[in-house]
Structure formats: structure tokens, C-alpha cells
Chains A and B, each alone.
Chain A
Amino acid sequence: MKRNPSIEIGTGLFVLLGFAALFFMATQISSHGLEFGRHEYHLTAAFDNVGGLKAGAPVSIGGVTVGRVESIDYDSTAFKAVAHLSIDRRYNRIPNDSDVAIYTAGLLGGNYVGFTPGGSDTNYKDGDRIEMTQSAIVLENLISKFLFDKAGQGAKKETP
């Protein structure tokens, strides 16, 4: 039986590439991954409600992406959702009275975490926990509030 090394190499390369692609689909496209480089520091932010915020979402200050949401879990003693943020070292001057809120990018876009810088002289450092947060706006709550207000106004007009 004749052996042809170039055929074997070609086939090996093809099979390897194919499995690499399958592996990539399984790990990179479907779940978590993505490194932001190792030059980063970590903050945690406790929210009453994170809405649709997901791990991997950007963290921005004034619209500039400075980091990512690393993970989100639930703190069952404080009854709050805790988002772990990893922020690029270059942006290490965030005043420690800055306000943190969850916003939505675009109509169908994903949520992101936005900082509004405060005026304090001291900055957040690695490992700080941020309590001054504003929850995600849940559209259903907003609509029900609006409807109840309208209904209340209607009732007032009819009574006198």
C-alpha cells in the first residue's frame, strides 16, 4: 500500500481545522470568553435589579467603553444583584462618589453599565463595592406606572 505524506498532512490539517471551528463555535460564539487584557482592575456594583444586563456587556463613562461586565450573581444576604466589573487600568481615576446606572443601547440593543463621574477627590480602587447605583429601567414597570397615573387622573376628573 502506497503512503503519501502530503495527503496525510492535508487531511490532518483539514480535520484539525474543522474541529477547531466546532470548538470555537462551542466556546466562543455560544458562551463566555473574551479577555480584555490583563491590565484591569475590578469593582463590584450592587443593583436592586439588573434587568437584561449580561456578562460581557460594556462599561462606559460618557459613552466611552472602559471595561466589561465580568459576571453577575445574586447576593442573598443583601437581596441584591451584584455585577462584577473589570475596568481598564488606564481609566483608574473614577471618583468614589460616581453614580452607576444600567442603560439600554438602542431600541433592541443590549444593556450596558454607565458611570456618571462625581466630584470626590478619592477614586475607586481595585475591589471596591459600589452601593450608589441606579437599577435598570424595566419597561413593564414604567408602563404600568404610567397607566395607573392616567387612570388616577381620569378618576379625579370625574368625581367633582
Chain B
Amino acid sequence: MSGHAVSSVLAQFGRFTLFFGRLCAGVPSVLRRPRLLVEQVHMTGALSLVIIMLSGLFVGMVLGLQGYDLLRRFGSTESLGTAAALGLLRELGPVITALLFAGRAGTAITSEIGLMLATDQLAAMDMMAVDPVRRICVPRFVGGVVSMPLLAAIFAVIGIYGAQLVGVELMRIDAGQFWSQMRGAVEWRDIVEGVVKSLAFGVACSAIAVYEGYHAVPTAEGVGRATTRTVVTSSVAVLAIDYMLTAVLL
């Protein structure tokens, strides 16, 4: 029984890896048809803007409050800008954006592809000699990879404004200290770390969402389960990759 479980996990991994290879092989084909890509960037990126901006604002404001309370104990509330910017750029921006992305865009991708599978649309494409992986899966995958760093950047910038709103407007920290200490402490490396992370999360979340949709059991229940699995697997993958990348990049 346990041997069977191990082999099914291994098979799962193998299927995912092979599918990921097919996705990567299809990337050049989607670059020749940019319209498909634009549609997907719109679906995954532009439509996620509102949730990303709102979450960024509130995360930044909470960081401002918590950071202010913590730093006040050391008498260095001027460092709030540094704390908020480093936290948002390196950690919170990429990670929370990826988690929201998995919930907002990943589920949409999985259920869309799953439903296409359940209604035999993908089989029909196959009949017409259109490769469904290239026509359906790859544009969604690349769209997610393109959208994620941009979303994370927007999240971080709005978050820093949120922290500024609380720190400067509410708690009366000097705005010059807030910005100048931030500028003094934030280096190029920190920004690069955030972008690298969000790219990696974009690859992971999009590939998982597309994979789960494409391999869903083609029933109503199966698509529902696949959608749930997308969120669970993406979240765990994001947090695990985050630890590894932090350890490497720090």
C-alpha cells in the first residue's frame, strides 16, 4: 500500500516535470503569437490589480503601525521607512503577491482549463491538429510569469506608501528621515532579490495552475478538487521556494 503511495507521488512529480518541459518548449511559439499572451496578461495581471493594490496598501499600513510600535521601544522610529521598504521589497511583496496570485489567477486558470477538458474542447483541438498545450496552456503560463514581477513591484510600492501614510501622516515621523534612511539602507541587491523571487514564484504558481487544470479529472467534482489543489500546492511551493531563495540570495 505504502509502496503504491510512494510510486504515485513519484509519478505525480514525473508528470509535472514532463509537463513543465512541454510548457518551456512551447514558449517560443507563444512569442510568435503575442495576442494570446496579451489576453492572458490581461486575465492574470490587469484583473488582479485591484486586489493587489488594496492588499498592498493594507499590508503597508499594518507594517507602519507594527513597525512604529516596535521601533518606538528602541527610540528609533525614523528607521520605519527602512524596515517597511526592506520587508516589502524582499519578503512580503513577492510572497503575498504570489499567494494572492495563486488564489485569484491560479484558480481561474485551473478551473478554465479543467472545464475545457471536461467539455472535450481540448480533445476537439487535438482532433484539429492544434496542440492544446501550446494553444491553451503555454500562453497562460507565460502570462503568469510576465505578470507576477510587475504585480509584486506594484504591491511593494503601494505598501511603502501605506507605511508612509501611517508613519508620517498618523504617527508624525519626519518624512525626510523616513525617505532618506530608506534610501540609505536599500541597495540594488534588495530590489534584485525581490524581482528574482517574484519571477520564481510566477513560474511555480503558473506552472502548477496550468498543470492541475490540464490533468484534472474531467468531472465537476474533479475540476473543483484540482482548483483546491492549485491553491494548496502553490502556497506550499511558494513558501518553500522562498526559504531556499532567501538562503541563497541573502
Chain A positions within 8 Å of B, measured between CB atoms, are 1, 7-8, 10-11, 13-15, 17-19, 21-22, 24-26, 28-34, 54-58, 65, 68, 105-110, 112
Q: Pick 24 A–B contacts, CB within 8 A, sort by A.
A: A10-B42, A14-B41, A14-B46, A14-B147, A14-B150, A17-B49, A17-B150, A21-B153, A21-B154, A28-B183, A30-B186, A30-B188, A30-B191, A32-B183, A106-B77, A107-B76, A108-B75, A108-B79, A109-B76, A109-B177, A109-B181, A110-B78, A110-B180, A110-B184
Question: How far apart sit A56 and B81, CA to CA, in the bound complex (Å)?
Answer: 14
Residues of B within 8 A of A15 (CB): 41, 45, 150
Residues of A within 8 A of B191 (CB): 25-26, 29-30
Interface contact B179-A34, CB-CB below 8 Å: yes
Contact of B183 among A30, A106, A107 (CB under 8 A): A30
- Residues 152-187 of chain B, each 1 if its beta carbon lies under 8 Å from chain A, else 0: 011011001000000000000010110111111011
Measured CB to CB, the closest approach of chain A to B127, in angstroms, equals 21
Known: A18-B45, A30-B187. A54 touches B157 (CB 8 A): no
Interface contact B183-A17, CB-CB below 8 Å: no
* B85 in contact (CB, < 8 A): yes
Residue of A nearest to B37 (CB): A11
- Residues 1-42 of chain B, each 1 if its beta carbon lies under 8 Å from chain A, else 0: 000000000000000000000000000000000010011011
Taking chain B's interface residues, is the majority helix, strand, or loop, or is none over half, making it mixed? helix
Q: Give the total number of A-B pairs whose CB atoms are below 8 A apart.
A: 119
Interface contact B180-A29, CB-CB below 8 Å: no
Residues of B in contact (CB 8 Å), total: 42
Interface contact B186-A107, CB-CB below 8 Å: no
Question: How far apart sit A26 and B192, CA to CA, in the bound complex (Å)?
Answer: 10
Residue of B nearest to A109 (CB): B78
Residues of A within 8 A of B41 (CB): 11, 14-15
Contact of B156 among A14, A21, A32 (CB under 8 A): A21
